[in-house]
Each structure stands twice: as structure tokens, then as C-alpha cells.
């Protein structure tokens, strides 16, 4: 689940001091506007006095004799709820530290990354050297219970909360691996999740995944880019999928790598008719590097600012699904108690003036099959190679450009006709697929090249796409119309699209 969709306003680091001072000045402006003129103070006394009176009456007369601290927290939360702002939060001092730790990848847990599944959450990745790695947890394991309590249909955030806990305390995970189910007792440890991950792919294509925008993200990104450059990087994939944001200034520091100095990064709109422009600073070391950015429905906030600026300046192609659409910014404002309020203070626009709140960023190339997105990004950076999709019927295995996919491709036989799963096949062949009023439209780039009607009955076979259990299937005989060759190599079927 996305965390930390905010901007914390403070001065950090000398390298971009002037830009950070802009945000600091913004915060002071916001704080000062809350201070009422002296003549208005008396008129406001009835509000605080009424709250205090109510709290005292509850403490004295209510059957539960509530704790004053609990009433105070409730009063603050009630005020925040009245704002109808889903991003407004109150943090105690302890919660504020936990919030900052989460953004920076510092946590107490067992060292696994999990995602929601159809019924149970499953392990996506295991961090080396952690209790989970030492205990033998593997990617793909289902987490069916935590401390004996089922996780079936439980919100992912709740599962994460149950797995995390006090340092050195024990947690029992019930795991399912294939037909095997077993318990594993692990002791929670202090873990740092790297904010930036890197890899070098075939053809000199670097890959960087940004997990979140913490206080060290830009520094880790620069180090990763230096290593990839030393390894001969000629193009780059930046993965912002599932990145819920964080410190906006870290995103802008990363943007400096690709956009000319003093270029518009984004626009701050205070909702009162005043706008501030935020510009890049520093010489871009990689302004001519071909870049693809991966995005999805959980790409939010600072991630959208980075992706939107790269898209507006024509410096990157966005691949994936429409982003979350969080076009507002928050400031974390300290309280005298050591806690803080996180409040929405402004709206932001992309350099082209786009307001993406609610609607999100639209990718340049839609790919909805998650496990194809990275491969399609690579393919777009290597247009000289025709995409080929190979699979062995009945095996459940498939490979795109000889790289194995976690996608099942197989034939569906209806009468004398054979069908293939439409979306994964066409997206692997660099087509884009859209539904509209029960009709499937197929695009090559922005050009619509084919429209297919759909039918659901096995007994009423019509020309078009067949739908079985919510999956659309493409008639094999249509492949030549899409310049897709189908060949047999031993027991393997290979689909190849002729691009030129």
C-alpha cells in the first residue's frame, strides 16, 4: 500500500539550498496565515473554551471516565475529519518517527515485500540477510495466517501491521507453498529496505526501481546511475510502480539528471489564485539518455511529479497503467508536543499545466499485464528487435524475447477454431488494447487498426473475440492481419510481429 504521500518542508543539504528555502518560505507563509489578528482572538475564544468544557464534562460525568489524552487525540482527529481531506493526519511523536522511518526504508519486521492476492497476500521479494531470508521464505509463498489469525481477504495494510512489531519479538507466519502449508517462527529485526534498486539488462539498458522518496533517495539514485554508466549503460528504465511518493524535493533532485538547468519542474497552486514555479537546478548528466518510466495505479504524489515532468518535457516514455492521481501536496507541521499535523496545503500542476488530481497521468503506451510491463519497456528502447513470444502448449510457461514470463499462454479450442489470450499476446506484440461498449479496439501507437466484437457463448460462435471466465481470447486466424507470424519449433509455438 502506498505510504507517505507528502512533502515535508525543511532545509536539508547545501546542494539545493535555494530551492529548499522556497519551500521553507512557503511553510512560514502557511503558518503565518493561521495566526489571527488581535481583534479576532476574543471572538475565537468560544471555540477552544467549548472544547475544553466538553472534555472536562466527559472526564467527570461519563461512565467510562475517559483518559484526557484519549479525548485530546479524538478532538484533533475530529477536526481533521471535518476537513474532508483524506491526506490530513495527526501524528504523535512516536507515530511521526515511524512515518519518517517508513519513508526512509527503516522498519522493524522480518524482511519481506508482499502484495495482495486473490485470497491471501503473497511474497514478492525477500531481502537478503533478514529473518525471512534466513528462515527460508521464498517469493511466491502465500501468507495464510499471522500468529494463528487468518489473512484471508484481509486488507494488505492490516497484514503488514500484524507482521511488523517490537524489535526481537516473535511472529509466527503460516505459509502455503504449492500444496504444502507450514508455520515459521521468526524474530523481528531492524531492517533497512533499499530505496533504490538497480540492474543491468541486455543491450546496455539500465534498470532502476525507486521504492519511495526518502531523505537519501536522490543520493542512492545518483550512485546507481554512476555504477550503470560505468557498466556501459546506453538507455534506462525507471520503475515507479507501487511508489506512493514521499519527499518531493528528492524527486526534483532526480529530475535534475535529465532536464536542462532552470527548466520548469512543476507549479504550486495555493487555491487562492497564487502560483509558484519550481525549477530544476544543476547540469543534467543524462539529458540525451533514452528513458522509459514504468507506472501503475499505485504510482502517486512525488512519483507523479517526476513522471509528469519527464513526460511533459519529452524526456521519457511512460509505460503501464494510469497513475493514482494525487495532485495535491502536504506539509508536515510540527506540534509543541513532538507530534505533527500532515495537512494538504496546495495543489500542483505539471510543467504543461496539467491538473492530474483524481485523473492521474496517462501512459504513452498502455500495458495492463503487470509482468509484461518491464519487458515492453525494454522492447521500446530496442525497436530494432522484432518481439517474439514463445510458449509450450499445456506447460503454463511463456517467454518474451527468450526471457521467461510469469504469464500463462495457451490455446483455447472452440470447434475448429483456436484462440489465444488476447491481452497478453497483443501487448507482448507491442499493441495496445482498449475496451469500449463491449467492443475491443486494438491500437498500434495512437492508430486504431482493428475492432473486434465479443461473444460469450460456446454454442454461438461468431467472428470476433471469445470471452471465457472474464478473459478475452483472440482468434488465431486474425494474427496475419496484425503482421504476427505463428511458427512451430519442436513442441514450442513462437509468435513474432514484423515491425518493419
Q: How many residues does the chain have?
A: 500
Cell 505510504 locates to: 3
Spacing of C-alpha 470 from chain mean position = 25
Spacing of C-alpha 436 from chain mean position = 26
Alpha-carbon distance 248 to 421, whole Å?
Answer: 40
Q: Which residues pair with 398 in a beta bridge?
A: 391, 405
Residues carrying an active site annotation: 301, 326
Alpha-carbon distance 279 to 252, whole Å?
Answer: 9
Q: At what angle do helices 217-230 and 248-255 cross, to 10 degrees?
A: 30
Spacing of C-alpha 248 from chain mean position = 15
Contact 498, 487 (CB under 8 A): no
Alpha-carbon distance 17 to 282, whole Å?
Answer: 12
> Which residues, other chains included, contact 433 with Cβ-Cβ below 8 Å and sequence gap of 6+?
366, 368, 422, 423, 426, 427, 440, 441, 442, 443
Contact 144, 155 (CB under 8 A): no
Contact 130, 189 (CB under 8 A): yes
> Which residues, other chains included, contact 113 with Cβ-Cβ below 8 Å and sequence gap of 6+?
123, 124, 125, 126, 127, 193
Q: At what angle do helices 17-34 and 248-255 cross, to 10 degrees?
A: 150
Closest CA relative to residue 486, chosen from 360, 364, 390: 390
Q: Which three cell numbers stand for residue 245?
A: 511518493
Contact 88, 342 (CB under 8 A): yes
199: how many CB neighbours lie within 10 A of its CB? Answer: 13
Alpha-carbon distance 46 to 399, whole Å?
Answer: 69
Spacing of C-alpha 245 from chain mean position = 8
Strands of 365-366's sheet in order across: 196-201, 205-210, 235-239, 291-295, 317-320, 365-366
Alpha-carbon distance 432 to 448, whole Å?
Answer: 9
Contact 235, 205 (CB under 8 A): yes
Amino acid at each position: 500500500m502506498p505510504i507517505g504521500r507528502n512533502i515535508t518542508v525543511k532545509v536539508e543539504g547545501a546542494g539545493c539550498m535555494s530551492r529548499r528555502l522556497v519551500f521553507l518560505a512557503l511553510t512560514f507563509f502557511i503558518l503565518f496565515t493561521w495566526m489571527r489578528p488581535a481583534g479576532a482572538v476574543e471572538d475565537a475564544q468560544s471555540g477552544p473554551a467549548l472544547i475544553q468544557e466538553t472534555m472536562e464534562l466527559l472526564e467527570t460525568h461519563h461512565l467510562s471516565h475517559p483518559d484526557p489524552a484519549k479525548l485530546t487525540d479524538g478532538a484533533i482527529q475530529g477536526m481533521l475529519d471535518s476537513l474532508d481531506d483524506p491526506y490530513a493526519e495527526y501524528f504523535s511523536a512516536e507515530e511521526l518517527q515511524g512515518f519518517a522511518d517508513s519513508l526512509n526504508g527503516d522498519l522493524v519486521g522480518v524482511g519481506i515485500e508482499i502484495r495482495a492476492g486473490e485470497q491471501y497476500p503473497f511474497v514478492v521479494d525477500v531481502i537478503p540477510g533478514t529473518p525471512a531470508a534466513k528462515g527460508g521464505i521464498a517469493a511466491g509463498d502465500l501468507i495464510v495466517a499471522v500468529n494463528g489469525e487468518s489473512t484471508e481477504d484481509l486488507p494488505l495494510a492490516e497484514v503488514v501491521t500484524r507482521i511488523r512489531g517490537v524489535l526481537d519479538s516473535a511472529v509466527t507466519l503460516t505459509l502455503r507453498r504449492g500444496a504444502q502449508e507450514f508455520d515459521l517462527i521468526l524474530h523481528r529485526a531492524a531492517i533497512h529496505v533499499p530505496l533504490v534498486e538497480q540492474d543491468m539488462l541486455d543491450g546496455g539498458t539500465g534498470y532502476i526501481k525507486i521504492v519511495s522518496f526518502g531523505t537519501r533517495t536522490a543520493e542512492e539514485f545518483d550512485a546507481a546511475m554512476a555504477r550503470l554508466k560505468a557498466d556501459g549503460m546506453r538507455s534506462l528504465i525507471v520503475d515507479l510502480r507501487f511508489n506512493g511518493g514521499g519527499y518531493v524535493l528528492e524527486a526534483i533532485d532526480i529530475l535534475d539528471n535529465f532536464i536542462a538547468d532552470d527548466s520548469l519542474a512543476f507549479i504550486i497552486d495555493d487555491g487562492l489564485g497564487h502560483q509558484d514555479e519550481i525549477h530544476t537546478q544543476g547540469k543534467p548528466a543524462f539529458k540525451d539518455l533514452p528513458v522509459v518510466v514504468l507506472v501503475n495505479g499505485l504510482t502517486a504524489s512525488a512519483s507523479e511529479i517526476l513522471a509528469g515532468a519527464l513526460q511533459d518535457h519529452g524526456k521519457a516514455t511512460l509505460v503501464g497503467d494510469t497513475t493514482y492521481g494525487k495532485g495535491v501536496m502536504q506539509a508536515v507541521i510540527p506540534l509543541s508536543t513532538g507530534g505533527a499535523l500532515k495537512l494538504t496545503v496546495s495543489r500542483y500542476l505539471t510543467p504543461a499545466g496539467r491538473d492530474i488530481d483524481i485523473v492521474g497521468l496517462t501512459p504513452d503506451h498502455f500495458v495492463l499485464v503487470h509482468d509484461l510491463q518491464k519487458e515492453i519497456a525494454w522492447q521500446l528502447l530496442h525497436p530494432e528487435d522484432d518481439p517474439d513470444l514463445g510458449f509450450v502448449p499445456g506447460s503454463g510457461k511463456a517467454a518474451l524475447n527468450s526471457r521467461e514470463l510469469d504469464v500463462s499462454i495457451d490455446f483455447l479450442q472452440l470447434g475448429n477454431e483456436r484462440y489465444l489470450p488476447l491481452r497478453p499476446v497483443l501487448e507482448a506484440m507491442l499493441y495496445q488494447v482498449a475496451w469500449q461498449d463491449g467492443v475491443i479496439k486494438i491500437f498500434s501507437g495512437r492508430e486504431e487498426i482493428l475492432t473486434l466484437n465479443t461473444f460469450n457463448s460456446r454454442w454461438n460462435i461468431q467472428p470476433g473475440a471469445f470471452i471465457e471466465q472474464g478473459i478475452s481470447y483472440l482468434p488465431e486466424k486474425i494474427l496475419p492481419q496484425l503482421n504476427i507470424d505463428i511458427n512451430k519449433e519442436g513442441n514450442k509455438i513462437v509468435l513474432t510481429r514484423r515491425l518493419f
